[in-house]
Chain A
Amino acid sequence: MGIRYQGDKFKNTMLSIATEGLTKQFDRHVAVNDVELQVEIGEVYGLIGPNGAGKTTLIRMLAAAEEPTLGKIYIHGERLLRDDSNLHLKQLLGYLPDDFPLYEDLTVWDYLDYFARLYRLRQPHRRWRLSEILELVDLSSKRHSLVATLSRGMKQRLSLARTIIHQPLLLLLDEPVSGLDPIARMKFREIVKVLQQEGMTILISSHVLSDLAELCTSVGIMELGYLVESASLEELYSRLSRQQIILSTLGDMQELEVELKNNPLVKAWEVLPPGIRPASSMAGGGSVKVNFSGNTQDSAALLRSLVAANIPLTEFHCTQEDLETIFLKLEHKQVS
């Protein structure tokens, strides 16, 4: 177990989050182990990892809901402590836990008004902000309903509204889409995108890797308490993701395969079964997924050569391996 202790190297830096040797131990179990996390301002940082990897504990420590065993946390360059010494720092944070408890005896408006007051929003700004936020989370029509009467998806959105009512600079979302249906998840993604555009730094943990791929600018992978990978999505894709081309033809598949064999940049291909073929190839012929090691110009050259060989192409679509495949490729072995 590598333990380090450093000086206040992140004090007054302009990182949104910086941790130094952050460790949390519960009895003999080390939930978070010597984590050095750095998230820049304005990023959407996705935290991936199986259950029990330490994501929730890490987020709880960043929200000051849990005290670290060792290490320091800096939020916008200022040390975060779990006492009443930094009330203004709490004003910068928004934390949505995975179980989102609510006050069921209040109406939606009163609930948000209560939290707006807790975060020192004054009139007329408060009223304006409440209306804006209800609009954003699509709950304007429910403003006078009791919280107890809302659906799970609505409660989730109301919780998010509560978390962002004070326009925090840093938003910590722990498994925000778990247990939601696809439409509710889509709505949630859209809201997060709006918040990203508003300039909030967002740290989000999720099992649904496709959600993260769509939202995040950076990704961190946690396993057995360690942060084993932390990089921008761009870097991760360029380092670990292969380019793939989906091809569909109306003609003979063998002709297409002969042409592919002739191109040295084509590493391998896989004939797609009829069930997952693109609609354009349904009339006849077939589709293949090609692993291609060339750049954009090389793929243009491939297309030219196929057209020149009179292959009746109906689709030529460049794509990349998704986050899920990359995650599996990293061969992290911790079981949930």
Chain B
Amino acid sequence: MISTIMDPLGDWNPQLLRELKGKLNTRNITVAWAISIGFQLLLYLFYENLLPITRNTSNHYCTGSVLDSYSGAECLKDALGKVIINWQRWWLDIFVCMSIIAIFALLVGGTYLLIADLSKEESRGTLNFLRLSPQSARTILLGKILGVPIILYLSLLLGMPLHFRAALGAGVPLIWFLGFYTILIASCAFFYSSALFYGLTSSALGGFQPWIRSSGVFFFLWLMKILTMNDFAGSKGNVANWLTLFYPGKMLSYVVNATPVASQVDYLPLEQVTEITWFGMSLWQNAILGIFFMLLNYGIWTYWLGKALKRRFHNPIATSLSKGQSYLLTASLMTTMAGFSLPHSNVAEYEVQSNIILLFLFQLVLFLGLIAALSNHRQALQDWARSRSIRGKQGNDNLLKDLVWGEKSPATVAIGINLVIASLILLSLLLLFPFGSSTIYLSLGVLFHINVILIYACVAQLILMATMPKRTIWAIAGVGGLMILPLIIAILFQINPNNQPFLWLFSILPVVGVENAMGGELWLAFLTQWGAIAFLSFLMLRRMDIAHST
């Protein structure tokens, strides 16, 4: 019977069958199921232990009037003297607990397993065979996503009956139960794609690869869990709200609200979701629409990851994105983030400023990612220089077209174009929406941001062109050093952006310095930065000429 299922499965996706055959053995299945059942038993006993007993006067699961958030409700007793228990509330707690455990187990565990598997294939040399086979990157990577964490899936599958029972007991409508799983699956698609992308791009980290990434995912989920579980009200119109949409547990606010005991629970407040706006629109007010936009958010970024995965899978030395793709990605990411940063009309000005400064930080992170995704390595640049010299002899060399669209050309011009795209979006946001007196200095901040990021891009590309070994690590160190150095100086010499803003114009957040800088200081900083960009570009051209002539 197994072969009748496995055979068509293998024809559909050979990679999936290979993973299943390698991982589904009796030992693995037994251990996974034993852990799953043991864990469920412990969880059940833990919650049973929380139930009130006859001598209790108050408890969270009692049905009387609520005394306070610590003691819970007053315990009422029936005619037989037994405490009346709020079973719906009890089951809801179990449901939420199991949901969060499932999120952590799936996303952290799956990320770890996928990266560990990929790095094993890469170090063993077998990944090349998959690359050379006539299967598409999509088939192979989908097979990995579905097959590598199969033991994890099985153990969670065994937890589903209790999860369903808890949902039933808590009065969670079936549609919301299924909605939660839909979001969970979408989040897996996103996190697993990003794990595979990380696995394909960071093989230099070796054995630490899976640990670093899964710890990162754990930290992110843990932070998001804290933010969503408690009554932390995210600043309105804050770009960080966008990040919380990547946490599938956000969906639980809707689920809890749909239960009859919603008013009795003090966690997962609905406002966490409903107050998020995008360009002032309350897209998450309506739960069905909210889920749709959460899915759309996962869908868009999983799509982009898929594009990058396809490129890197077939050609490991290719840049993660083509230059053309990067322009589209920047436009869509900046529009998305700008939408989340837009303040409500009734927000204090300092809050508006901090929202935009946070957006500047997000933009910086985006560009550091773009620099990594677009900067070619020495080999590709050398290939480019040589093919250019040949095309030059034939008279069909178009340098500008190559720098804007070319696969192997240096990234600096493309980063510059991306900066222009991002800045246009930012400037439109600043000019079209009410930012009050902050508009001018924030707009100037945009210009200084362009300069600083261009310097980072030039430095990264210059180091990647060098002949020294471990260029990637040096490039990270170089850019990292440039980012940290002004901050260290500022801390050591206690340079405050309010009194001495000049240094801050060279920091990761030049906008902080712009606010208090004088006209002369701004000009001096602007010219210094462009002098640095020109000097770095000159060095780069000289290196290209050397590569050209060899």
Chain A residues within 8 Å of B, Cβ to Cβ: 3, 5, 23, 25-28, 63-65, 67, 69-70, 82-84, 87-88, 90-91, 93, 95, 97, 99, 101-103, 105-106, 110, 113-115, 117-120, 122-123, 162
* Max count, chain B CB within 10 A of own CB: residue among A67, A84, A101, A113: A84
Contact of B386 among A70, A93, A101 (CB under 8 A): A70
Say yes or no: A118 contacts B135, CB within 8 Å: yes
Say yes or no: B136 contacts A70, CB within 8 Å: no
Say yes or no: B126 contacts A3, CB within 8 Å: no
Say yes or no: A88 contacts B134, CB within 8 Å: yes
* Complex interface bits, B117-139 against A, C-beta within 8 A gives 1, otherwise 0: 00000001110111111111100
Across the interface, name the chain A residue whose C-beta is closest to B124.
Answer: A101
- Chain B hits for A101, CB < 8 A: 124-126, 129
Answer whether A25 and B383 are a contact pair too, CB < 8 Å, given A3-B390, A99-B125: yes
Sample of 8 A–B contacts (CB below 8 Å): A27-B378, A27-B382, A65-B128, A70-B387, A97-B125, A105-B22, A113-B10, A117-B14
Say yes or no: B17 contacts A114, CB within 8 Å: yes
Say yes or no: A118 contacts B14, CB within 8 Å: yes
Say yes or no: B378 contacts A87, CB within 8 Å: no
B315 at the interface (CB under 8 A from A): yes
Answer whether A87 and B14 are a contact pair too, CB < 8 Å, given A67-B317, A106-B22: no
Say yes or no: B379 contacts A26, CB within 8 Å: yes
Chain B contact residues, majority secondary structure? helix
Across chains A and B, the number of contacting residue pairs, with CB separation under 8 Å, is 90
Answer whether A114 and B128 are a contact pair too, CB < 8 Å, given A25-B382, A82-B314: no
- Chain A hits for B386, CB < 8 A: 3, 23, 25, 69-70
Say yes or no: B314 contacts A83, CB within 8 Å: yes
- Chain B hits for A28, CB < 8 A: 550
B11 at the interface (CB under 8 A from A): yes
Chain B, interface residues (CB within 8 Å), range = 35 or more
Say yes or no: A106 contacts B135, CB within 8 Å: no
* Max count, chain A CB within 10 A of own CB: residue among B14, B124, B317, B391: B14
For the complex, what is the distance from the CA of A69 to the CA of B547, rounded to whole Å? 13
Across the interface, name the chain B residue whose C-beta is closest to A93.
Answer: B132
* Complex interface bits, B358-401 against A, C-beta within 8 A gives 1, otherwise 0: 00000000000000000000110011001100110110000000
Say yes or no: B11 contacts A117, CB within 8 Å: yes
For the complex, what is the distance from the CA of A119 to the CA of B134, rounded to whole Å? 6
Quote the shortest CB–CB distance from B122 to chain A (angstroms): 11
Which B122-159 residues have C-beta < 8 A from chain A? 124-126, 128-137
For the complex, what is the distance from the CA of A139 to the CA of B537, rounded to whole Å? 60
For the complex, what is the distance from the CA of A192 to the CA of B124, rounded to whole Å? 26
Say yes or no: B390 contacts A70, CB within 8 Å: yes
For the complex, what is the distance from the CA of A28 to the CA of B546, rounded to whole Å? 11
Across the interface, name the chain A residue whose C-beta is closest to B127.
Answer: A101
* Max count, chain A CB within 10 A of own CB: residue among B11, B129, B137, B386: B129
Say yes or no: A27 contacts B22, CB within 8 Å: no
For the complex, what is the distance from the CA of A19 to the CA of B10, rounded to whole Å? 36
